[in-house]
Amino acid sequence: MLPKGKALFLLTIVILAITTACSREPERPLRVGTNVWPGYEPLYLAKDLSFYNETQVKLVEYSSATEVIRAFRGGELEAAAVTLDEALLLAQADGGFRIILVCDYSNGADALLSKPSLKDIKSLRGRRVGVETGALGAYFLARALDSEGLKADDITVVPLSVDEHERAFNEEAVDAVVTFEPVRTRLLEKGASVLFDSSRIPGEIVDVLIVRNDYLSGNREKAGALLRDWFRALEHIEKEPDDAFARMDARLRMGGENPKEAFKLLWLPSRRENIGILGGELEKTAEKLLSVMSENRLIDKTVDVRALIDSGPLKGLE
């Protein structure tokens, strides 16, 4: 039997240890913000396949890209899936993040749709065009108008978040709308016409995953695990497409063969392809975007593109 004093001392140590363990805050999951877009669905597919759970990764869905950007700026997220031009806009005010993954390239999944009576972009002169002005939409509209020598002043821009696109178009509140999948498919099924899509500007509409520097510096393994699960999800799409698209359509709500058709309008680079893109190609693409954005007064400051890109977490998967 231990002496009374020693036993009391040991009991005190045990109680302190238990108290400390109970009072320690639970580890916060990596919060990743997205809006609904097929190119981000591998994140949700990985969750559906139980590659991770909400104690590790918490996916936060917003109604629009504008809301994702607002939440990231406000510190509500450690990571976000955004378009490259949106990342550049974020960087001019706050460069405290890194691009660690290219999610996808859009090759037709983003589109300028109109009423059937409007046959070309020039016919938009004086018309109402709905667009999410605080995100990719403004850049895409500028590129579409420029292809036919039009400017934003030639049309009436109607600011719309993506969750308003379908309603506004169906109720004829706008004559045309800049939108993307899955809304693109639903509007085409109702008779909309494609005036311009991202296949006309190959390589320019790129989606990336950004992560805050302060999180990345202390959690590179966790960021790497998220990337590993992303590529596991891509592998599942390739090997078990029927199961993968059925799972993803539960969120996309496209129905039938539409999810598969939508993915044909995207390129989701492999890990090896990603390393190559992050190693140089993405920087060139970003510089081109900056030039176009500057010409169209969509960005105010220069951005150190090279400093934004970090291929380390991907290379760490080797």
Domain containing residue 160: 110-200
Say yes or no: 235 and 308 in one domain.
yes
Answer with the one of 166, 200, 234 that is the final residue of a domain: 200
| Tens digits of residue pLDDT in 202-261 | 999 999 999 999 999 999 889 999 999 999 999 999 999 999 999 999 999 998 899 999
Specify the CATH number for the domain of residue 223: 3.40.190.10
Q: Is residue 160 part of a domain?
A: yes
User: Into how many domains does the chain fold?
Assistant: 2
Q: How far apart are CA 154 and CA 142, in angstroms?
A: 11
Say yes or no: 59 and 130 in one domain.
no
Q: Is residue 132 part of a domain?
A: yes
Say yes or no: 211 and 309 in one domain.
yes
Q: For the packed helices 220-239 and 41-48, what is the interaxial angle rounded to 10 degrees?
A: 90
Average pLDDT over residues 273-301: 93
pLDDT of residue 85: 94
Choice between 18 and 112, residue whose per-residue pLDDT is larger:
112
Q: Is residue 12 part of a domain?
A: no
Say yes or no: 150 and 264 in one domain.
no
Answer with the one of 171, 200, 229 that is the final residue of a domain: 200
Say yes or no: 95 and 209 in one domain.
yes
| Tens digits of residue pLDDT in 41-96 | 999 999 999 999 888 999 999 999 999 999 999 999 999 999 999 999 999 987 89
pLDDT of residue 180: 96
Q: How far apart are CA 114 and CA 119, in angstroms?
A: 8
| Tens digits of residue pLDDT in 2-48 | 455 554 544 444 444 444 444 444 577 999 999 999 999 999 999 99
Say yes or no: 218 and 170 in one domain.
no
Evaluate if residue 193 carries a pLDDT over 50. Answer: yes
pLDDT of residue 95: 80
| Tens digits of residue pLDDT in 145-165 | 999 999 999 999 999 998 999
Q: Can you tell me whether residue 262 is helix, strand or coil?
A: helix
Evaluate if residue 186 carries a pLDDT over 60. Answer: yes
Q: Is residue 5 part of a domain?
A: no
Beta strands in the chain (DSSP E): 30-34, 57-61, 79-83, 97-106, 110-114, 128-131, 156-159, 176-180, 193-197, 206-212, 266-267
Residue 180 backbone dihedrals phi, psi, to 5 degrees: -155, 175
Residue 8 backbone dihedrals phi, psi, to 5 degrees: -65, -40
Q: Is residue 10 part of a domain?
A: no
Say yes or no: 249 and 294 in one domain.
yes
Q: Is residue 23 part of a domain?
A: no
Q: Is residue 48 part of a domain?
A: yes
Q: How far apart are CA 217 and CA 264, in angstroms?
A: 36
Evaluate if residue 271 carries a pLDDT over 60. Answer: yes
Q: For residue 279, what is the enclosing H or E element?
A: none
Say yes or no: 213 and 98 in one domain.
yes
Beta strands in 23-167 (DSSP E): 30-34, 57-61, 79-83, 97-106, 110-114, 128-131, 156-159
Say yes or no: 141 and 54 in one domain.
no
Say yes or no: 126 and 60 in one domain.
no
Nearest to 47 by CA among 60, 37, 36: 60
Say yes or no: 44 and 87 in one domain.
yes
Tokens found for residue 104: 């996808």
Please, what is the average pLDDT of the chain?
Answer: 90
Say yes or no: 90 and 211 in one domain.
yes
Answer with the one of 170, 200, 230 that is the final residue of a domain: 200
Q: Is residue 50 part of a domain?
A: yes
Evaluate if residue 1 carries a pLDDT over 80. Answer: no
